[in-house]
């Protein structure tokens, strides 16, 4: 896995002026678009123009000493299980892509990330309906794990695309779900960190459920910090 920065070092670089939100987003978009990479399988949808616009807004706020948090301007991916206003939530399925209307609002967890200034760069691929820990998706492709990629191994699931986006520097964090390991398994398969929080600590509205008694919404990133 490449030596990518952590959220803490990115926040410090943004604060010092060593980088900008625009540069971070452009670098992630370049990695996503790299034909030799896994971007086409890691992402179901990329919010290129919206992400660049949000980056410019965060850079202006930071110059005015009005950044909403130390992490304002850092691009993150969102598992395709969460509502994003104006987009269809597919849950990795062609069935929902064809038969559902765009979401009227962001899921609460997505809205909280936006309020902190994180930039949504795109919707990450996943196991269809989150129903497997392997990470295979026959509709949108299966991203390869970072381990021994020249051979090709499954990425772990169900938050497969999110883990790949962080491991490959296409995003610097991702929002996933974990029912029986769906944050932790792909994190382990890709050399990063996944966390399943106590269920009641994180609102579950705006996410397509798998198990109402076991689902948790949690983050994946490069380090515990």
List, by residue number, the catalytic residues.
Answer: 79, 158, 182
φ, ψ (nearest 5 deg) of residue 51:
-65, -40
178 contacts: CB under 8 Å, gap ≥ 6: 159, 184, 194, 195, 196, 215, 216, 217, 218
The DSSP string of 85-105 is TTS---TT-HHHHHH-PPPSS
d(CA 149, CA 41): 14
d(CA 201, CA 3): 32
CA dihedral for 6, 17, 110, 46, sign (positive or negative): negative
d(CA 10, CA 223): 13
């Amino acid at each position: 896995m490449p030596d990518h920065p952590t959220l803490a070092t990115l926040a410090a670089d943004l604060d010092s002026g060593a980088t900008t939100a625009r540069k971070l987003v452009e670098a992630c978009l370049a990695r996503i678009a790299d034909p030799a990479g896994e971007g086409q399988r890691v992402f179901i949808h990329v919010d290129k123009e919206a992400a660049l616009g949000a980056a410019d807004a965060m850079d202006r706020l930071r110059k005015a000493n009005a950044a909403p948090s130390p992490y304002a301007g850092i691009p993150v991916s969102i598992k395709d299980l969460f509502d994003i206003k104006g987009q269809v939530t597919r849950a990795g399925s062609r069935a929902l892509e064809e038969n559902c209307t765009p979401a009227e609002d962001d899921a609460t967890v997505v809205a909280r990330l936006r309020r902190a200034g994180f930039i949504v760069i795109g919707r990450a691929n996943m196991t269809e309906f989150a129903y497997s820990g392997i990470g295979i998706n026959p509709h949108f492709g299966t991203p390869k794990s970072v381990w021994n990629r020249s051979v090709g191994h499954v990425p772990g699931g169900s938050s497969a695309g999110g883990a790949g986006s962080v491991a490959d520097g296409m995003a610097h964090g991702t929002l996933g779900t974990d029912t029986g390991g769906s944050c932790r398994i792909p994190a382990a398969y890709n050399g990063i960190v996944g966390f399943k929080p106590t269920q009641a600590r994180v609102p579950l509205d705006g996410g397509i459920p798998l198990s109402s008694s076991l689902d948790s919404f949690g983050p994946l990133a490069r380090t515990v910090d």
